[in-house]
Structure 1
Amino acid sequence: MFSGSIPALATPFRGGTFDEESFRTFIDWQISEGSRGLVPCGTTGESATMSIEEHNRVVAVCIEHADGRVPVIAGCGSNDTIAALEHMKSAQAAGATAALVVAPYYNKPNAQGVYAHFAYLAERCDLPMVLYNVPSRTITDIDVETMGRLSEIPSIIGVKDASGNVARVTAQRLACGTDFVQLSGNDDMVLGFMAMGGAGCISVTANVAPRLCAEFQAACASGDWDVALELQDRLFPLHVALFTDASPGPVKYAINRLHKDFTTEVRLPMTPPSAASRAAVDKAMEQLGLI
């Protein structure tokens, strides 16, 4: 259902509120540059700082403006199962293609609790669901056995894997089957992820270099690994630079270098990137010929 380069969209703010006009312009640019889908209200989109109403509005604007040109995987995660269900129902009503649902964070459920969380959502909303496993942020890990059980639920169709363990791709293929869509959540290791059976990447870097990320994914899909390796090497400094300070500070700075109407504004507790981080982003973008 999903493949290629799919940006985890940053959300523009102006004066503390959602800048809808800049967001719409950004969506048009992403699609014109070859992105194969859009993910609003993920981690990069600062969903953790949004009210439920604002979160649902950002998702609805993304779906409305994409207007069927590419699929929209709406961020719907929460550590509160009922809140996640509310997000899923709102996204479904707005026309989302699927929901991206992160493992419950902070609460630290055991494996059965993780399974029960996702099963509860699937029982009450039939919007296709992509699991989001990012234990470095959530502490909770959707382990391979639990993911295998979840993959038996028809509406749970794939995973955004940001575990940082490329070997999980094979383990998850064996547990979940080859039709279970595996999307990388780590730009810096996506080449290995793709070689081991990944279908694409929900990408931070694609916010800044969408065309190059799309070309990289196309090379992987066609089995042109020499080109893919060349593009991975070219993109790698940018992959690293965008995490030289707390995300999404550096990525918003980078987007602003390309689109002045997209502000660098982040919400507390996030803060603007340091001078050293900005310098690293500038250098990486210059090396790629983006600025």
Structure 2
Amino acid sequence: MFSGSIPALVTPFRDGAVDEAAFRRLVDWQIKEGSSALVPCGTTGEASTLDNDEHHRVIRICAEQAAGRVPVIAGCGSNDTQTALWHIKEATVAGADAALMVAPYYNRPSQDGMIAHFSWLAERSELPIVLYNVPGRTVTDMLPDTVTELHRRFPGKIVAIKDASGDLARVTQHRLGAGPDFCQLSGDDPLALAGYALGQVGCISVTANVAPNLSARFHAAAAAGDFPAARELHDLLFPLHKAMFADASPAPAKYALSRLHDWVSEEVRLPILPCNEAGRQAVDAALSRAGLAVGLA
């Protein structure tokens, strides 16, 4: 259902508010440069600091601007099941194509609790669901047996996973448990190359915000089985993958975009701070290494 280079879009801010004009330009640029789908209101989009009106508005802008050119996978997760369903309903009305649902954070539900949470949502959602496992942020870890069981119960509704566990063995476990039709996406840019060999078909990416064309070319090569070309592009992008986390994300990504485009501000929201000096140096070096020109239109 989804594949290739899928940026988890930053949410541009200016003077404390969502910069809608910049976000529309970002969507157009991403599509022009080859991104195969878009994710508004994910972790990189600072969804945790958007109020609900902003959250739903950002999804709507993304869907409006994409206008069916690529799928929109809207971040709809919450640690409150009722709120998660509200986000799904708003994303459905906004025109999103799927809902990205992070494992409930802070509450630390059991595996049975997660099965109950996602089952309740799947029974009520009009959108297909992409599970999102990122235990480094949520503490909760959605284990492979849980993923397999959810897909078994709802094969036409729980259709994919973004896995950011860092455990590549899970790609095989998911494939053997849920079957080859279950869509597996990496949540870690540096692991995407290895993920293709194991059965992943793309990545929901931070780096693709900054280098969408190079990222799209990398994923096209990997999907075609041209691993020498994919490895060459991976090596070119690897310093940028690392630089995106040289300071608290998404500050480095926003700094990088501000270096590339004068219409994107590097503004973030507390408790995230603007990218620190060491992070800026890492980003600048990585942009240079990747041959990305500063000051693009």
State TM-score, norm by structure 2.
0.97
Aligned match of 1:255 in 257, 273, 289? 257
Displacement of 1:126 in angstroms is 2.5
Distance 2:20 2:275 in 1: 23
Amino acid at match of 1:68: G
Residue equivalent to 1:269: 271
Runs of 5+ unmatched residues, structure 2: none
List per-residue Cα deviations over 1:79-102 (Å, max 9, x = no partner). 111111000011011111100000
Matched with 2:137 is 137
- Are 2:284 and 1:282 aligned? yes
Secondary structure at 1:254 match in 2: helix
Render the CA deviation track for 1:113-164: whole Å, top value 9, x for unaligned.
Answer: 1111101111111310000000000010110111011012120000000000
Q: Which residue type is aligned with residue 45 of structure 2?
A: G
- CA distance in 2 between counterparts of 1:82 and 1:290 reads 43
**Unaligned stretches of 5+ in structure 1?**
none
1:3 counterpart letter in structure 2: S
User: What residue is the counterpart of 2:246 in the other structure?
Assistant: 244
Q: What's the TM-score, normalizing by structure 1?
A: 0.99
Cα deviation, 1:223-272, whole Å, max 9, x if unaligned, reads 10000111111110000011011000000000111111110000001001
Cα separation, 2, equivalents of 1:259 and 1:118:
39
Q: 1:101, 1:183 → 2: CA distance? A: 13
Aligned partners of 2:86 and 2:95: how far apart in 1? Answer: 14
Q: What is residue 150 of structure 2 aligned with on the other side?
A: 150
Structure-1 residue corresponding to 2:66:
66
Task: Provide the secondary structure at the position in 2 that maps to 1:263.
Answer: coil
Among 172, 177, 183, which residue is 1:170 paired with? 172
Whole-Å separation in 2 of the counterparts to 1:25 and 1:96? 18
Tell me, in whole angstroms, the C-alpha distance in 2 between the residues paired with 1:44 and 1:103. Answer: 16
Per the TM alignment, residue 53 of structure 1 is displaced from its structure 2 partner at its CA by 1.2
1:118 and 1:126 mapped to 2: Cα distance? 13
Matches of 2:167 and 2:248, distance apart in 1 = 21
* Percent identical: 60
Distance in 2 (alpha carbons) for counterparts of 1:284 and 1:26: 21
Q: Matched residue of 1:191: which SS?
A: helix
Letter paired with 2:43: T
SS in 1 for 2:181: coil
Letter of the 1:131 partner, please give it: L
Amino acid aligned to 2:2: F
Distance (whole Å) between structure 1 residues aligned to residue 199 and residue 145 of structure 2: 19
CA distance, structure 2, for counterparts of residue 96 and residue 255 of structure 1: 25
**1:81 alignment partner in structure 2:** 81
Q: Secondary structure at the match of 1:169?
A: helix
SS of 2:203 mapped into structure 1: strand
SS at match of 1:262: coil
Q: Which amino acid aligns with 1:207?
A: N
| Secondary structure class of the residue paired with 1:226 | helix
Indicate the SS of the match to 1:202: strand
Aligned to 1:10: 10
Post-superposition Cα deviations, 1:177-219, rounded to whole Å, max 9, x if no partner, equal 1000000000011100111111101000000000000000000
**Partner in structure 1 of residue 32 of structure 2:** 32
Q: Secondary structure at the match of 2:132?
A: strand
Distance in 1 (alpha carbons) for counterparts of 2:102 and 2:234: 27
Counterparts of 1:104-119 in structure 2 under 5 Å?
104-119=104-119
- Distance of 1:259 and 1:38 partners within structure 2: 19
Shift of residue 175, structure 1, vs aligned partner: 1.1
Q: Aligned ranges for residues 95-244 of structure 1 at < 5 Å?
A: 95-152=95-152, 153=154, 154-244=156-246
1: CA distance between counterparts of 2:119 and 2:201?
Answer: 24
Runs of 4+ in 1 over 4 A off after TM superposition: none
**Per-residue deviation at 1:52?**
1.1
SS in 2 for 1:160: strand
The alignment partner of 2:130 has SS state of strand
Determine the C-alpha separation between the residues in 2 that align with 1:126 and 1:135: 27
